[in-house]
Amino acid sequence: MLEKALTGSRRYWAWIFVLLAITGIGFIYYLKQFNYGLGITGMGRDVSWGLYIGQFTFLVGVAASGVMVVLPYYLHNYKVFGKITILGEFLAIPAVIMCLLFILVDLGQPMRFMNIFLHPTPNSVLFWDAVVLNVYLLLNILIGWTVLGAEKKGIAPPKWIKPFIYLSIIWAPSIHTVTAFIYAGLPGRHLWLTAIMAARFLASAFSSGPALLIILAMFIRRFTKFDPGKEAIQALGKIVTYFMITNVFFLGLEIFTAFYSQIPGHMHPFQYLYAGIEGKGRLVPMMWTSAILAVFSLILLINPATRKNERTLAMASAAVFISLWIEKGFGLVVGGFIPNPFEKVTEYWPTIPETWITAGVWAIGFLILTVLYKVAVSIREEEIA
Amino acid sequence: MDRREFLKLTAITAIATAGGISALEILRDKELEAHEAHTPDTKPLTAKRWAMVVNIRKFKTEDDYKKVMDACRRAHNVPDFGNPKDEIKWIWTDTFEHSFPGQEHKYMPEDLKHMPFLLLCNHCDNPPCVRVCPTKATFKRKDGIVMMDMHRCIGCRFCMAACPFGARSFNWRDPRPFVKEINPEFPTRTKGVVEKCNFCEERLAVGRMPACVEASKGGLIFGDLEDPNSDVRKVLGSHYTIRRKSELGTGPGVYYIV
Amino acid sequence: MKIYDGGKIFIGIIIFLSVATSPFLFNMGKATAKPDPKLDTPEIQKMKKKQCVEPKEFMRREHMKLLNEWRDSVVREGNMIYIGVGGEVYSMSLQSTCMKCHSNKKKFCDECHKYVAVKPYCWDCHIAPKEN
């Protein structure tokens, strides 16, 4: 089936080469980081996780969100999603690969990464995260490839794949729950020490992931002969709406608890993120951009007229995606380290090499996504023809 | 068969194949091992639970602090990068407000407010850093010392996020060029691993007290928490002491007389 | 007989062969001298019985495993004592036991390591003895 990705329009190849070029630059910067050490990034003693781990956290959500199209189709026989389950599964694959790559580029001793499996440590959440992510990756490759292969031959998917599909439906929330536990169980990091962390993660995942799917589906409809279906896009729109409301609600809960209790440690990270402390507020503009985009998207999503209008739905989806990318891919991880354990404010901002390495990993992800979607779309186009 | 025995057996096989050795000799070797009591030159210092008391009242001049910190720096080849971003800290100082956040108030004695406190790894009873480490690179020894195995650390820095005391430092770059005078008795570190205070386990193993304790002239008291006659227990029994962030339940093993 | 796409196949074969044989072609005539590790340090010459912690043949083959055992034993189990073949007591330490006798790292360690192109990372952290 992969041969479908080897033929394409001039535009397709141009896109591929752009991604390869970004990957290449990212790789060169990674070699630099490999030689010099992680000191090449903006991270330091106080903010010891940054953009890489933020991206990892955000992308686990995108990966998990595939379940939002798989579940209604397989458990509720919601036929409208039949055409796009493959898009959900094929989105999960590059998302998980990006997650693993972001962990890898964040390691101080990447050559020793196998130590996680050579010395398995069940009390470490990171160990479990490595396990669940790899299993989820394998599940999605297996399911996506098998189902699409059957479709290509014009037959129903084999029966043995069903248990794997049900397993993947349970597995998806688990990957994001485990990822939330990385943060939610640490004493002394007030922003993260919250029982609703996993719930927040799932809410943001199930809004940002389907939002991306809406944009991808519209893109495919515009540039290929395959139409994922207006109804499917509208159904995704409703999913995004409800989970975005939940997401903002959960953030409100956190802010209430912190500020009504007036416990300084709980208020500090929020104060830093949204107002700045001691005149230091590097993340404030970004966090407010995220907040404004969230409100903007909710206005468009909750209002039926603007949700049904695909133009405004696309805008709302983009707003959701960017808003949550900032909130989770940046603010949540960095904010957890500020103020530091000594109640001092050390700020963080990614460096140029760090940004390029991040872009490089995203480019690899988009490359895999492009190839997989190209295969899926080509097979659909053949069916139509 | 444990690994040591296995090695020995491999060794014996190697000799046997190489030149021939009688079974008798092998037996004699074994006996030799069993009979001879092998005591090293210096007896290691041992404890059920090592702990430290910092009597901050004994630190009067800047030099008192410097001696302690320099002793550690020299003993462990701690680099000095000259910038806070890359900084490696084993034992360092901070004010009361930053050492014990939430305990300070406006009207506390002025001297206490500005007095530097010596901070180091607390070697907790229930260390979060050990709990989160995905490779067991950091682990708790039977005697309470929270150890780092630099050979195994993958540099994920989960432990740094987990430690509520900021006691862990990461090697953001190769530290060796930044070690002023290298102590040949102790290794330096490589880039990409996490490090911290080890309660001088390498000195305890050869019967010496921790470098900082030795240099502190009584300001730092070190001993076995489970031994009622130890120095630490005597001090703890007769003075009011506080610990950093004890409400988090990690059980810090470093106590402060303020 | 006609070979379809013969030109492409031929070029492919040439590329494959040149890549596959490149290490050999590249190093042709540049044979590295056989390693000759030296044991002639003052410390070793002082010894009555020239004996390492384990027999020579074992050390030659298994020193890396032994070092790993020592490392785990010292760092993880806090056990620093090693009993040699003849019952001798050693302190398990790369810097102060191994390198005390083998103070000629360049002629002892690097000689073979270079020859077999292995790069142990011991010396990233551990401090090598001073040599001229």
User: Tell me: the pLDDT tens digits for B147-204?
Assistant: 999 999 999 999 999 999 999 999 999 999 999 989 988 999 999 999 999 999 999 9
Check CB contact of A126 with chain B, cutoff 8 Å.
yes
Check residue A3 and give its pLDDT: 82
With cut-offs at 50, 70 and 90, classify the pLDDT of residue B124.
very high
The answer to whether residue B35 scores a pLDDT higher than 80 is no
- Amino acid, single-letter form, for residue A24: G
Helices A51-64 & A310-326 angle (0-180, nearest 10): 140
CB contact under 8 A, A115 and B154: yes
Between A180 and B206, the higher pLDDT residue = A180
What's the start-to-end Cα distance of chain B, in Å? 52
Say whether both B31 and B140 belong to one domain: no
Residues from chain C that touch B29, judged by Cβ atoms under 8 A, are: 85-87
**Residue B177 to residues B81, B86, C112, C122: CA-CA distances in angstroms?**
9, 13, 27, 17
A158 lies within 8 A of chain B by CB: no
Question: In the predicted model, is pLDDT for residue B24 greater than 60?
Answer: no
Shortest CA distance from A108: residue in chain B: B192
A108 and B CB contact within 8 Å: yes
Instruction: Give residue B14's pLDDT band: very low, low, confident or very high (50, 70, 90).
Output: very low
Closest CA to B168 of B237, B92, B244: B92
For tokens 């004695």, what's the residue? B109
Model confidence at B100: pLDDT above 50: yes
Residues B25 and B128 in one domain: no
| Co-location of B15 and B83 in the same domain | no
Residue B225 has pLDDT above 50, yes or no: yes
B120 & B221 share domain: yes
B37 pLDDT tier (thresholds 50, 70, 90): very low
Residue A273 has pLDDT above 70, yes or no: yes
Angle at A202 between CA A198 and CA A203, to 5 degrees: 115
Answer yes or no: do B13 and B94 share one domain: no
Per-residue pLDDT tens for A318-377? 999 999 999 999 999 999 999 999 999 999 999 999 999 999 999 999 999 999 999 999
C78 contacts in chain B (CB < 8 Å):
141, 143, 201, 205
Q: Which residues of chain B make contact with A44, given a CB cutoff of 8 A?
A: 84-86, 172
Shared domain check, B4 and B95: no
Report the run of H or E that residue A3 belongs to, with start and end. none
Contact indicator for A289, A331 with CB cutoff of 8 Å: no
Task: Please give the backbone phi and psi of residue A66, each rounded to the nearest 5 degrees, phi first.
Answer: -50, -30
Cβ of residue A115 closer than 8 Å to a chain B Cβ: yes
For CA atoms B46, B52, B58, B60, the dihedral sign is: positive
The mean pLDDT value for B93-103 works out to: 93
Query: How many other C-beta atoms are found inside a 10 Å radius of the C-beta of residue B110?
Result: 8
What pLDDT is attached to residue C95? 86
What pLDDT does residue B17 have?
43
Of the partner residues C55, C80, C81, the one whose CB lies closest to the CB of residue B15:
C55
Task: Name the band, by pLDDT with cuts 50, 70 and 90, for residue B84.
Answer: very high
Q: Check whether A52 has a pLDDT greater than 70.
A: yes
Q: Please indicate, yes or no, if residue B44 is contained in any of the structural domains.
A: no
Check if A7 contacts B (Cβ < 8 Å). no
- Interface contacts (A, B; CB < 8 Å): 145
For range B34-59, the mean pLDDT: 76
Confidence (pLDDT) at C89: 87
Residue of A nearest to B96 (CA): A342
Note the pTM of the prediction, 2 decimals: 0.90
Asked if the Cβ–Cβ distance from C89 to B40 is below 8 Å, we say yes
Residue B87 in any domain: the answer is: yes
| pLDDT tops 80 at residue A226 | yes
Cβ burial, residue A207 (10 Å; 0-12/13-18/19+): buried
Report chain B residues whose CB lies below 8 A from the CB of C98: none
Residue B38 — very low, low, confident or very high, per pLDDT cuts 50/70/90? Answer: very low
A259 touches chain B (CB under 8 A): no
A37: left (phi > 0), else alpha (psi -120 to 50), else beta? left
pLDDT of residue A373: 93
- DSSP state string for A167-222: HHHHHHHHHHHHHHHHHHT-TT-TTT--TTHHHHHHHHHHHHHHHHHHHHHHHHHH
The token duo for A48 is 């010891």
Q: Which residues contact A342 (CB under 8 A, 6 or more apart)?
A: B94, B98, B99, B101, B166
B43 within a domain of the structure (yes/no)? no
Domain that holds residue B87: 50-257
Token pair for B231:
């120095």
Nearest C-alpha in B relative to A44: B85
Q: How far is CA A245 from CA A58, A249, B179, in A?
A: 18, 6, 54
Count CA within 13 A, CB hemisphere, residue A322. Answer: 17
Taking only the tens place, the pLDDT of each residue in A144-160 is: 999 988 988 888 899 99
- Put simply, the answer to whether B166 touches A46 (Cβ < 8 Å) is yes
Query: What six digits make up the tokens of C124?
Result: 């990233």
- Domains in chain C: boundaries: 36-125
Q: How many CB pairs under 8 A join B and C?
A: 71
Which tops the pLDDT comparison, B68 or B27?
Answer: B68
Strands B146-148 and B169-170: unpaired
Establish whether the linkage from the previous residue to C42 is cis, with ω within 30° of 0. no
| Residue B42, in any domain of the structure | no
Structure tokens belonging to residue B252: 């810090």
Q: Which of B187, B84, A205, A25 is nearest to C75 (CA)?
A: B187
Predicted confidence at residue A381, as pLDDT, reads 85
Minimum Cα–Cα distance from A124: chain B residue: B132
CB contact under 8 Å between C58 and B11, yes or no, is yes
Q: What is the CATH number of the domain that holds B115?
A: 3.30.70.20
As a whole number of Å, the CA-based R_g of chain A is: 21
Average pLDDT, chain B: 86
Tell me if B237 sits within 8 A of B86, measured CB to CB. Answer: no
Is residue B200 domain-shared with residue B225, that is, in the same domain?
yes
B184, burial (CB in 10 Å: exposed 0-12, middle 13-18, buried 19+): middle
Query: Which residues make Cβ contacts (< 8 Å) with residue B178, sequence separation at least 6?
Result: B79, B80, B81, B82
List chain C pLDDT tens, one digit each, 132 residues: 677 888 889 999 999 999 999 988 887 777 777 888 888 888 888 888 888 898 888 999 999 999 999 999 999 988 888 988 778 888 898 988 898 889 888 889 988 898 888 999 899 999 988 876
CA quadruple A86, A92, A98, A101: dihedral, nearest 10? -110
What percentage of residues in chain A have a pLDDT greater than 70? 100
Nearest Cβ partner for B11 among C73, C85, C95? C85
- State which residue of chain B sits closest to C97, comparing Cα positions: B185
- Whether the pLDDT of residue B145 is over 80: the answer is yes
Q: Comparing C-alpha atoms, which of A110, C34, A48, C24 is closest to residue B191?
A: A110
User: In sequence order, what DSSP letters do the residues of A268-318 get, joined into one string?
Assistant: HHHHHHHT-BTTB-TTHHHHHHHHHHHHHHHHHHHSHHHHHSHHHHHHHHH
Q: What is the pLDDT of residue C132?
A: 65
Q: Which residue has the higher pLDDT, B6 or A314?
A: A314
- Domain count for chain B: 2
Chain Cα centroid distance, residue A33: 24
Residue B94 lies in a domain: yes
Coil vs helix vs strand at B164: coil
User: Does one domain contain both B6 and B91?
Assistant: no
Kindly state whether residue B132 falls inside one of the protein's structural domains. Answer: yes
Distance in angstroms (rounded) separating the CA atoms of residues A123 and A125: 6
CB B200 within 8 A of CB B209: yes
Candidates C125, C130, C131: best to mutate against B (most CBs of B within 10 A) is C125
